[in-house]
Amino acid sequence: MSGVVGHRSNAIVELMRMPAEEHDETWLKEALQQAVMLELATIPPYSCGLWSIQEVDQGSDVSETILEIIFDEMSHMGLACNMLTTIGGFPRIANSEVVPKYPGPLPGGVQPELSVSLRGLSKQALDMYSRIERPDAPVVEVRETHTSIGAFYTAIREAFRSRPELIKGTRQVTRNMSASHGQGNDVVALRSLDDVEHALQIIKEQGEGTTVSPENPFPGETGELAHFYSFREIFHGRELIRVSDNPPRFDFQGAEIPMPLTFPMGTVPAGGWSKGGVPVSEGVQHDLDTFNRHYSSLLRFLEHAWHAEQSATATQMLSQAVGQMRRLQEPAQALMSTPLPDESGTTYGPEFLYVDEDP
């Protein structure tokens, strides 16, 4: 790629407007960079929801569902990176122009009416999560259609089908994630069109389901739902069940799903708490800085992994990234335990700000 297209752009909208015959190597590299950014953009808001669940309800069905979805999104990002490197591209991840900024739109102009923010788990947050994952034609709660993330991945699949010779299998990073969650979630090498198509199917259907079923066809457990439907279940507080066979119809009429006890994390303002005019004590600033340093190191290790020429180096870099990810929860929950000074009853939370390495 000739340059870095920023997080706040209409790149995906513009790519989707181009006729299919122009979906060449340059188009595909730009589209896959946007796909990497899209997958990255989902992880911070979902993580805030997970970490806001208090210890008494950690391990509940709700917390386990959100954790599984985060694992899926991590693997989706890895697969998108492998798609880009298999055609000779280089993912840009650790760059202040690329890193998602909150509150704000999804990368590339997808769903421009949606503003994604960092906040604790709540009905409002769950509605935001499910709007991120909403299919073009959900099997329940049908609304006006729009161009979804899934439609974007369909265009990427068609571009690969028309130019399979671009697939070279270069700089493929792998990681076994099945031990953490389910099947179909490993980051695998993509060396053929079949490999790429299978990866795209996983990304689309784990998020949106199929056109006829809300179930994730790559489940860790029988009956596991795609992300959109899982979030809607938690939102409604009821399991989604089939209520009619002919025609098939689904509704949230199943067993109750209680909301867990959470820290009341407030919404992080643009640029972070202090830039949003919220007073920040020395202790809170320490936790914010600690979190942002680990998050930024995580992104740099990820970028190094997919830029590495040697597979051993890539594996080492990915392991370092995982180590940084594990360091995020402690400062995040320390912030979520600290009330804001405005007597609103809400608390601080992580900012997910990218900071450059110390010189």
The ranges assigned to domains in the chain are 11-265
Helices (H), 52-148: 61-86, 123-133
Question: Pick from 256, 209, 222: which is nearest to 237 by CA?
Answer: 256
Residue 110: the pLDDT is 83
In this structure, whether the domain defined by 11-265 belongs to CATH 1.20.1260.10 is answered with yes
Give the model's pLDDT for residue 2: 42
Residue 10 is predicted with a pLDDT of 86
Helix (H, G, I), strand (E, B) or coil at 337: coil
Q: What is the pLDDT of residue 218?
A: 58
pLDDT attached to residue 1? 38
Q: What is the pLDDT of residue 274?
A: 96
Give the helix/strand (H/E) hosting 31: helix 25-51
Q: Give dist(CA 94, CA 91) in Å, integer.
A: 9
Cis peptide bond N-terminal to 107, omega within 30? no
Predicted confidence at residue 359, as pLDDT, reads 44
Q: What is the pLDDT along the chain (359 residues), one digit of tens a residue?
A: 345 566 667 899 899 999 999 999 999 999 999 999 999 999 999 999 999 999 989 889 999 999 999 999 999 999 999 999 999 999 999 999 899 999 999 998 888 889 999 999 999 999 999 999 887 656 556 554 555 687 889 999 999 999 999 999 999 999 987 665 555 578 999 999 999 999 999 888 786 655 546 766 555 565 678 888 999 999 999 999 989 888 888 899 999 999 999 999 999 999 999 999 999 999 999 999 999 999 999 999 999 999 999 999 999 999 999 999 999 999 999 999 999 999 899 999 999 999 997 64
What does the alpha-carbon distance between residue 77 and residue 37 come to, in Å, rounded to a whole number? 8
Question: What pLDDT is stored for residue 208 in this prediction?
Answer: 62
Quick one: 55 exposed, middle or buried, by C-beta within 10 A (0-12, 13-18, 19+)?
exposed
User: What was the pLDDT predicted at 220?
Assistant: 57
Helix (H) / strand (E) containing 49? helix 25-51
Q: In this predicted structure, what is the pLDDT of residue 268?
A: 98
pLDDT at 182: 54
